[in-house]
Structure 1
Amino acid sequence: MRERMDAFAYTALPGRVVFGTGTLAQLSEEMERLECRRAFVLSTPQQADKARELLSDLGEHGAGLFDGATMHTPVEVTERALAIARELEADCTVAFGGGSTIGLGKAIALRADLPQICIPTTYAGSEMTPIIGQTENGVKTTQRTEKVLPEVTIYDVDLTLTLPALLSATSGLNAMAHAVEALYAKDRNPVIALLAEEAVSALASALPKVVADGVDRRARTDALYGAWLCGMCLGSVGMALHHKLCHVLGGAFDLPHAETHAIVLPHALAYNAAAAQSAAAALSRALGTQDPAQALFDLAGKLGAPRALRQIGMPEDGIAPAAELALENPYWNPRPIGRDAIETLIARAWAGEPPSALR
């Protein structure tokens, strides 16, 4: 039975979504809706060629391109991009890519209040949130402000057809983490609970098909739909232990964002499941299992995603320091956060061991 809540607060976030196939062609129209005429296109170096094509297609409405977006939104990269945007007299940003690029657009909006159009090419979900994470001197900090919420998101299934299998898997699992934690968030509500359960179900069903056949349009559509819902979850309620751990690990060791989330998720869920029984029940329904933490660990293995932090570059001697950092300014969590238990959790995630409740 789904949890019933007699009292809750729900804030609907403003933002326009254009979803479908071939929707990239509507970019100029969406700029017109925002009354913008000089778009500053953003991408990572890996997406530079496609971003350059997009800039060319914009014609006189393309102000320029910055292709230096990178993981964890380093402040120095943002300052460099912002200086170029001002020099070009850009009146909006168009973020073409995944979480790194969208994060850069948000960081520019935070400082210059430029309208944002996001064109996601992965399943990260950041485009649906008023949350920004930034890294300076090896420390990643986050804040929530509607100033960084993108005005328009264009989801084009066509852009995901060439997303490599491994990146599809890790970014999809990263998205699922948003929905999982939304189910036991301190400020959870029935609207987001419904979206979260649907999101996990859609992604869990679609990702194996996407990995098996990357041009399966039905599976790609379902995965992108699930990722959108996950992003809405992340943007609407607070997160907990899982996201705190991933922010600590990513910022301290410069670990790849999506892979870190994919690895930590089953362990954080196992830690919290007994203290969040309604969330565990929803995930059991979505995943068709009585042990959702183990199911997520098994899903990562089936998808070929990494399941050990050591695989993605975390040093073993970083386990204890990471546990200490996780206890600094901790996020609210349904289960108390104990120093020894968290160190053990990180150690198991480092080694790639199955998730454990750590009682």
Structure 2
Amino acid sequence: MGLLFSHDTLPQRVLFGTGKAAEHLAAEVAAFGATRVMMIAGRRDANTAAGLSARLPVVLHYSDIVQHVPIESAARARAAAREHRVDLLVCLGGGSAVGLAKAVALDTGLPVIAIPTTYAGSEATNVWGLTEDGRKKTGVDARVLPATVIYDAQLSLSLPSGLSVASGLNAMAHCIDSLWGPRADPINAALAAEGIRALATGLPAITDDPAGIEGREQALYGAYLSAVAFASAGSGLHHKICHVLGGTWNMPHAQTHATVLPYVLAFNAPHAPEAESRIAAAFGSPTALEGLNALRKRLDAPRALKNYGFDAADIPEAVSLILPQVPAINPRTVTGENLTELLTAALHGTDAAGLSPVKA
């Protein structure tokens, strides 16, 4: 039988250009007819936010941003938006800033313009996440999809190389998870493969020349593709693991994704030969895991969960929280035993190739 699939493409405007962010933002604010803008940006990005919005009708600069978007943080931002009668949200920064804007949009229906400075990819998805009582809950809602995304590699120059690597490998995880996500299809696969290629080109260029633009442009381009593929394919095993780890133990988002990725790839790839072949080809490597590991070695990527607040004593609880969320379509059956093995290896940073390939 020939190709048979369904694919949803999310409605979104993307503006890409180095040095063009201020120009693009002004044009978009005017197009929305906005008169009361809420600018969401962390303290690290405060000067950039002020510069981009100097001539815009900003009524509130908001910097109370917390990773994993605790429900209390979302409530404060929602109240502030209402108090200032905001009619447009602009967020500048990484996944936490975008996530907070999404939390406000989910409650208010306000449109969002996202200006990402990392490779988190949240700006191109309709997925929201909120953390309450140590548990991270995610959902899908059209209201949280930013209407416009403005990419400007110049704005990412202040992102240190180490964080660029972790954030870029987070984007890589979007690509790889998209190849076996619940709604994986050939279009997602094509986007994901090109995303892997772009990230594998861009991230080494950033570490070689942190002040260079070309590598950062490739990384932003790859991050966008990764997010579009992920938004369509849905959350796979990797993201289910990382959402539990991040929300429950407040682990750093990008570093957690960067650390867990090779273990999920080693776990699933032998059971998904078509996806494995596509990933390997995107890396230009004999196997998917060899390609990823070679890139990680070159980038000096994050290695072990124990470095980010996770402990061996936490593994049983993590397993109990992750197992109910594993997608039924995952290419390999996930059990308490093999998930414990995966998390133990990731905890200590042992060779991912050593995971038992067929144990069910």
Amino acid at match of 1:223: A
1:144–1:209 CA distance, 2 compared to 1 (3 A): same
Residue correspondence of structure 1 range 1-359 to structure 2 within 5 A: 6-25=3-22, 26-55=24-53, 57-59=54-56, 61-332=57-328, 333-356=330-353, 357-358=355-356, 359=358
SS of 1:71's equivalent? coil
Amino acid at match of 2:141: T
Contact residue 301 and residue 307 of structure 1 kept, 8 A: no
Any stretches of 5+ residues in structure 1 without a counterpart? none
1:294–1:314 CA distance, 2 compared to 1 (3 A): farther
TM-score (norm 1): 0.95
Contact residue 294 and residue 354 of structure 1 kept, 8 A: no
Contact residue 186 and residue 334 of structure 1 kept, 8 A: no
Q: What is the RMSD of the two structures over their aligned residues, measured on CA atoms?
A: 1.4
**Structure 1 residue 215, shift from structure 2 partner:** 1.9
296-305 or 180-189: bigger deviation: 296-305
Any stretches of 5+ residues in structure 2 without a counterpart? none
**Structure 1 residue 290, shift from structure 2 partner:** 2.4
Identical positions, percent: 40
SS of 2:159's equivalent? coil
CA distance in 2 between counterparts of 1:108 and 1:125 reads: 18
CA distance in 1 between counterparts of 2:235 and 2:349 reads: 24
1:69–1:284 CA distance, 2 compared to 1 (3 A): same
1:210-244 C-alpha deviation (Å, 9 max, x unpaired): 11111222212111111111111111111211001
1:148-204 C-alpha deviation (Å, 9 max, x unpaired): 111000001111122210111000000011111111223222221111101001101
TM-score (norm 2): 0.95
1:21–1:5 CA distance, 2 compared to 1 (3 A): farther
282-291 or 110-119: bigger deviation: 282-291
CA distance in 2 between counterparts of 1:44 and 1:137 reads: 24
1:65-117 C-alpha deviation (Å, 9 max, x unpaired): 11011211111001101111111111011100000000000000000011000
270-279 or 292-301: bigger deviation: 292-301
Runs of 4+ in 1 over 3 A off after TM superposition: 52-55
SS of 1:102's equivalent? helix
**Structure 1 residue 5, shift from structure 2 partner:** 5.9
CA distance in 2 between counterparts of 1:124 and 1:161 reads: 15
CA distance in 1 between counterparts of 2:2 and 2:327 reads: 23
Amino acid at match of 2:300: G
